[in-house]
Amino acid sequence: MGSFHLAAMTLKSLFSKPETLQYPAEVKAPYAGQKGHVVNHVEECILCGMCQRTCPCHCIQASKPERAWTIQPFMCVQCGSCVAACPTHCLVMDPAPTAIATAKHEVRQEVPEQEKAAS
Ligand code: SF4
Ligand code: SF4
């Protein structure tokens, strides 16, 4: 690489916007189809446990006795298997990344009783 080319690159970088962001103060907008984190719209959840059985990381628990659905977000590898397996499509992959935290934690959601279909 010639010294002229190197000088041109240096000058260009001095007057162009940096490629890096001041994360977490600045966050890059998610791209289409980005697998950020799993969200459960629990009003449609039937606590069938398919997501729990499918998850390769064992980070989901679906408890019918407790009527609770729980995920450990920092164990999730965003593979999307649980979303594909959910029979009611109440699980979705939100493109935003998991919210930052200083400690591991679980997200527990109470699952409401499903209304019986009118006969
Ligand atoms: S697979 Fe879907 S409906 Fe079944 S427990 Fe998981 S989130 Fe609920
Ligand atoms: S996206 Fe994959 S790793 Fe994450 S909870 Fe679903 S099945 Fe488990």
In this predicted structure, what is the pLDDT of residue 31?
85
For the cut 90, the answer to whether the pLDDT of residue 48 exceeds it is: yes
Does ligand 1 have an atom closer than 6 angstroms to the CB of 88?
A: yes
Pocket residues: Cβ below 6 A from ligand 2 = 38, 54-57, 59-60, 71, 76-82
- Bridge partner list, 69: 62, 109
Closest atom of ligand 2 relative to the 35 alpha carbon: 1
pLDDT tens per residue across span 66-110: 999 999 999 999 999 999 999 999 999 999 888 888 999 999 999
Q: Which of 107, 112, 106, 108 is nearest to 67 (CA)?
A: 112
In this predicted structure, what is the pLDDT of residue 63?
98
- Which ligand is nearest to the Cα of residue 91, counting in written order? 1
For the cut 80, the answer to whether the pLDDT of residue 1 exceeds it is: no
Per DSSP bridges, beta strands 37-40 and 68-71 are: unpaired
Per DSSP bridges, beta strands 91-94 and 60-63 are: unpaired
Domain range 32-110, CATH class = alpha beta
In this predicted structure, what is the pLDDT of residue 116?
63
In the reported structure, the alpha carbon of residue 113 is separated from the centroid of ligand 2 by a whole-number distance in angstroms of: 24
Q: Which of 41, 116, 25 is nearest to 83 (CA)?
A: 41
> Is the model more confident about 47 or about 114?
47
Give domain limits for the chain.
32-110
